[in-house]
Structures are given as C-alpha cells and as structure tokens.
Structure 1
Amino acid sequence: MNPSPHPLLERAAEQERSGDWTAAADTYHAVYRAHVAARDVAGLLDVVVRLGHCCRRAGQHELAADLFGLALELAELHAAGDVASRALNGLGQLAQGRGDLDRAEAFFGAARARAERLSDPWLLGAAVQNLGIVANIRGELEKAADLYRTGLAHLQAAGTVGPQISVLNNLGMLHVDLGRLEPAEEYFDQALALSHALGDVVQAGIIHVNMVELFLARGELERARQSCDEGFEIFSRVNHALRKAEALKFYGIIYRESGKLHLAEIHLRQSIEIASLEEPLLEAEAQREMARVLRMQGRNRQALEALNRSHALFTSLQARPDLADIDQRVAELEVDFLSLVRFWGESIEAKDRYTLGHCARVADYACRIAERAGLTERDLVWFRMGAFLHDVGKTEVPEEILNKPGRLTDEERAIMERHTVVGDEMLAPVEFPWDIRPMVRSHHERWDGKGYPDRLAGEDIPRSARIMRIADVFDALTTARSYRAPLTPQQALDIMQDDIGSFDPELFEIFLELFPEFAPTAVEAAFASSD
C-alpha cells in the first residue's frame, strides 16, 4: 500500500533535520488532517508513523508509543506491511531507550520479518541496523559490525540516504571502540558528507561530537576541539541540552589533556549541571573526568568527592540492561579510587621522611589480616583505600613536629594525636560506598581503652580500626623513626606481645599466624628506612 505524496511532507522532514521538532509536529498534524479529509488511508498511516518518530526524537516517548501502537493496529487491519514494519521499528527504538533490550530485539525481529516478506530493502536495512545497535549495546561488537554492514548494504540498494547516515555513524563509533581508527574515520567522513548533502544538521552535530573520541584516541587535540566546536554550535542552535552536555564533557577532556585545567573544570561543571537533571550515565562519566582534573590540581578531597558521586551513579546504573559494560566501568572507577588514595597517602609520606612506603605496607599487612578475618573481596577493595588514608590528617601536622628527632612535648603530642580527628573531618564530605572514616579516626584506639582520640575500648572500637592498629604498630616498630633505629620483626613482635592488652585478641591471633609472611617485608622496609 503506497501512500499518496503530500507537498508538506518534505517541509516536515526539513524541519526535523534542523532540529525544529515543534514545527515538524505541527506540519505533520496538518498533513494528517488533510489525509483525514481526503479519506486517504495509506497517507494517514504513513503520517502517523512519521509523527511517532518525530515525537520519539523530540523526547515525547509516551506520545510516540501511542502513535506507533495506533499505526501498527491500523496497519494490521489494512494489510499495510510496510507501515507495520516501520511502527515495529519505532516501538523497538522506544524499548531500547528504556533499556529493555529483549523487547527491543523482539520488535526489530518482527519488523525485519515483515520487511523480508515485502522484499523491501529500505525497511530491511532499518530493522537490521537496529538489531546491530542491540548487539552493540550488549557488547557483541563483531556481531554488531556484521549487522551494521548488512543493514547499510540494504539501505544503499534502496537508495535512501537518511538512514545510511545513522548506520555509518554507528560503524564509526564501533570501530573507535575496537581501536580501528582509520576505518572509523572513513565511516564518519561518509556519514558527515551524506548529512551535509541532505541538510541534516542534527545528524551532523552528532557525528562531530562522536568524532571527538576518534581524535582524542589519536592525540589530535586541535582536531578534537574543532570537531567539538562544530557539534556544540549545532546543539546550542537547536537547543538540544543533553547533546550540549556531552560536548561540554568532551571540552573538559580536551582542555585537561591540553593542560588548561581551569577551563576543563568550567566545562565539566556545566556538563554535570545539565546531565544531573536528565541523564545519570553522562553525569557519571563527567564526574569521573572531573575527578581527574581535580587530582591534577592537587585537590585530593574534592577529587574523591567527584569519584564517589561517579561511583554511586555507575552502581545505580548496574540494573540497566542497556549498559553491558557497566561492571567494567565500576571496576575501572575503583582503580581510579585506589590510585588517588595511594597518591594522597604518598603525599603524606612526602612530609615525613621516615615513613616512606608506610601507607602501602600498612595497607598490605592490614588487608592480609582483614582477608583472614573474613572480609569479602568487595569490602577489601574499600578497606585498602581506608588503609591508604589512615594518616591523611597528618597533612595538617607541621613538618617540624613530624620530623622532630627527640621526644615530643605535651603540646606537640596533642597536635600529633589530633591527626585522627582532622583526617575524619577531612573525609566527612566524601560518602564512601564503604565506611572508611572509622579506620581513620580510630586506628590509635586500644582494646584496653587507653588509646585516642575517644578512649574507646573492646568491641566499641570499629573492627576495621582494630585491624589497622595491629598493622600500623608493626610497621612503625620495624622502620626507622627520627628518634630511634628500626627494630627487627622479632623485637617488634616481643614488644607487641608485652602490650597484648592493647590489641583485639582474636585479630592478634591472626596476626601471629601471618607473622612469618610479614617478617621479610619488614626486614626490607627496615633496611630501606635506615639508608
């Protein structure tokens, strides 16, 4: 069933290509009324599907679903297989946008079956490329590439230019992900040429922003900036907020890589502000990039806050089936976390020349004890971060006190002991996924209640802090200090056993079991600290 052409359809298509969704919808409504008046069923079905896709692109998803559903019902009634295929594609795209990939695949498969029965290369190409998008989202990249290329061949056979742009763009992005940068650029260039020939401004903007990743992968920062400029200008003109936010994120990356950290921060904050209202995935990505910028500026606590927000967002997205690689992103983010806290821990040691490597060794000792004590693998990731940060409050202790060769005065000791409270306060704004702060505040508390800062005793002391204290004391005794030489592991053990009432007895038994494994590390550390 072929629809009767209407002179306003091309105007509506032009309005869509320019991003003027409201004007396009109004034009489609005018065409709809004309077909109703003329009792042109084929034309009516055609414009309902077109209007559905217009609403989908404009973000009016509920209205789009109603229109696609109506078109499908009427198409089945009037045996209009082509309209049914187009409506099914639209419903599949809506399901894909919601993250319901199984339902999306079912819709696209049904659209493909109808297209095959009609031997319609345009409809077949549209359905096959959409199946490629599902495979891509699921991480089945080679399968996606095959489907994209098959879909493109059908669309080229049909001579339809518009849909080819999307497939070429998808192929470009896919090849960037695969690290095949030369073919990626060829696909992007073809897509851009077709979008310019068709006058599709919105698609051109999308391609320009996607090409930024290609240029960043090559280290071509100026080309990346120019491509970002093109996309940002387009999305500012058509007032597409989320696409602008994506471009702003890339500006942040470009300026960071260029060493212009102030500009990077400004653009990332703008991206986060927009994305926080509409798209948690984009905000999570922008927060992670912000953390990297803040770290480069030495703003460690703020960097941790940004990483924490990113981690919380990525974790909340783990339930979305449209994000096949989200677990990998969370794992990579935790590597960023650990790298940052290790860096911060080392910055503490830079002030105290006698504690080089202390945080790393304490983290290793403590994690071995914690693992034997039953902490899960996931908890150990965050426990290790707390171990690296246990002395973060020492950044506020004057160096002359940290490095004083003799005994501290009562006033100096009070300043030193406050490092636990200061560290706790420094980390208060960071809502870690695992409770790190008790390790920082309470690692100098004693089982017998004679520790500091809160004089906690026994099981009132957080278990993580009890573990930390054993590791911290052992490393302190076996490395040089400004006021004494390092002790041997056995001498350190003897002192700790003489003070047995200060340690959790159950955890100390685990320490005794692990002592033979810790001793070689302690010997090596003692030698290094004596140089």
Structure 2
Amino acid sequence: MEAAQGAEHRHAAAEAAKYRGVIAFMNSPREALAHYRRVLEYNPEDAQAWNQVGGLRYRLGEITEAEAAFQRARELGQKASDREIIAKALGNLGLVAETRGELDKAEDYYNRALDLDEALGRKQGMAVNLGNLGIIAKIRGDLDKAEAYYNRALELDEALGDKQGMAITLNNLGNIALDRGEPDQAREYYRRSLALLEEVGAKLEIEQVKGNLRGLDGE
C-alpha cells in the first residue's frame, strides 16, 4: 500500500510540475525548464517532457543540450513505438541541424518527420514540417519549391483554423514575393499575416511583420 501511495504521489508531483512548466513555457523559459527537469526526476522516461526540455534549451541557445534532449525523446518514442513522439523529435532535430547550417541533415529529419505525420494524419505536424522544408528550399534559392511547400502548409493551417500558423506561412510567402521583385504581392501577404497575428496577440511576430512592411515602404 505504501509503495502504491508513493507511486501515486510521484505521479501527482510530476503532473503538477508539468502543468507549471506549460504555464511558464512561453514567458519564462528558465522557470519552465526547472519545472520540466523536475518532471524528469519523477519520471525519466517521459518522452514528451524530454521534447519540451529540448525546446526550452533551444530557445535559450543551448543547442548541444537541446539536441541531446531531442535524441532522448526519440529513443523513448522508439522504445514505446510512439510514432507521434518520434515525429516531433525528428522535426526538432531538424531545427537543430538547420540552426547549425547542416541543411541536408535538416531536410532529411524534416522529411522523415513529415512521412510519419502523414501516416498518422497529424495535420499540424505536417504543416510545421512543410513550412520548415520551405525554409530550407528558400535558403538554397529554390523559390518555386519553397512556395510549393508554403502553399501546402497554408492549406493545412487553414483546414485546422490555426491563425498563427497561417500568419507565419503568409509572412514566408511574402518573403518569396519580395525576393522575386513583387513588392505589391509581398505587401498583400504581409498585411494578411499581420491581421491574423493581431487577432491572436502574437506580439513578437507582429513586430517582425511590421518591420517587413516598413522595409517595403523604405522606412
């Protein structure tokens, strides 16, 4: 009985720490990291917590530590045959590789994540990975391929009603138009993006898109 009660206590404590981590994730990454590390003290095999730790490490610029956390999440996902966890971890590892300038490696991770998400019918994951593949294509200068990826991502975001996802993709399409020397088309994309971001109150992204519009106006 005592052992069972102890296990229940650890589970409750882990869930409480996870909840606090979710609350702090966006505004206080250091605080959130402390909460998720506590989750892992209670349950070292919580793959989702490892993914969250990796995301927080990445936001804090701790790329090596982020990669290790994402790899651990992938290992645990493989152990549990949890394809959703594996897909998320692969996408995150792609982000690490992209940050390091390892574009071929990043593309491979994103494609593997996309394949899993398609098999699972995870539209949100598909949209994210398509957007990331679009970024890779744009970096390489293949604007047509990038645009195709972004348009596929936008269709999924629209189907999901994901306004922030739509806004990010519209901003990316604006960047494509700008690179092609189509400022009027770029402005239209940026304005649509800004309107959606203002609806959801995404302050950082709002400033980024406003900066793009100011750049078009020569400010």
Residue number in structure 2 paired with 1:209: 171
Q: 2:101 aligns with which of 133, 139, 143?
A: 139
Residue number in structure 2 paired with 1:55: 24
Quote how far apart the aligned CAs of 1:67 are: 2.9
Using CA pairs below 8 Å that are at least 6 residues apart, which structure has the higher relative contact order?
A: 2
Residue number in structure 1 paired with 2:4: none
Quote how far apart the aligned CAs of 1:44 are: 8.3
Q: How does 1:497-508 map to 2 (within 5 A)?
A: none
| Structure 1 unmatched runs, 5+ | 1-38, 256-263, 266-531
| Structure 2 unmatched runs, 5+ | 1-7
Q: 2:157 aligns with which of 170, 175, 195?
A: 195
Residue number in structure 2 paired with 1:69: 37
SS at match of 1:113: helix
Query: In structure 1, how many angstroms separate the alpha carbons of the residues matched to 2:119 and 2:16?
Result: 24
What TM-score, normalized to structure 1? 0.37
Query: In structure 2, how many angstroms separate the alpha carbons of the residues matched to 1:143 and 1:91?
Result: 22
Change in CA separation of 1:239 and 1:183 when aligned onto 2, cut-off 3 Å:
same
What TM-score, normalized to structure 2? 0.86
Change in CA separation of 1:208 and 1:49 when aligned onto 2, cut-off 3 Å:
farther
Checking the alignment, whether the CA contact within 8 Å between 1:55 and 1:64 is kept in structure 2 is yes
Change in CA separation of 1:95 and 1:244 when aligned onto 2, cut-off 3 Å:
same
Checking the alignment, whether the CA contact within 8 Å between 1:121 and 1:157 is kept in structure 2 is no
Query: In structure 1, how many angstroms separate the alpha carbons of the residues matched to 2:152 and 2:192?
Result: 17
Superposed CA RMSD in Å reads 2.4
Query: AA paired with 2:43?
Result: A
Structure of greater Rg: 1
Q: How does 1:24-423 map to 2 (within 5 A)?
A: 49=18, 52-53=21-22, 55-56=24-25, 58-76=26-44, 81=45, 84-255=46-217, 264-265=218-219
Query: In structure 1, how many angstroms separate the alpha carbons of the residues matched to 2:22 and 2:154?
Result: 22
Quote how far apart the aligned CAs of 1:211 are: 2.0
Query: In structure 2, how many angstroms separate the alpha carbons of the residues matched to 1:50 and 1:215?
Result: 41
Query: In structure 2, how many angstroms separate the alpha carbons of the residues matched to 1:223 and 1:196?
Result: 20
Deviations 1:104-136 (A, max 9, x none): 111111111111111111100100111110110
Change in CA separation of 1:129 and 1:227 when aligned onto 2, cut-off 3 Å:
same
The 4+ residue runs of structure 1 with deviation greater than 6 A are 39-44
Checking the alignment, whether the CA contact within 8 Å between 2:183 and 2:216 is kept in structure 1 is yes
Residue number in structure 1 paired with 2:3: none
Specify which structure has the higher proportion of helix.
Answer: 2
Query: In structure 1, how many angstroms separate the alpha carbons of the residues matched to 2:92 and 2:124?
Result: 14
Query: AA paired with 1:134?
Result: V
Change in CA separation of 1:55 and 1:230 when aligned onto 2, cut-off 3 Å:
farther
Change in CA separation of 1:95 and 1:143 when aligned onto 2, cut-off 3 Å:
same
Query: In structure 2, how many angstroms separate the alpha carbons of the residues matched to 1:190 and 1:235?
Result: 20
How many residue pairs get aligned? The number is: 212
Checking the alignment, whether the CA contact within 8 Å between 1:176 and 1:213 is kept in structure 2 is no
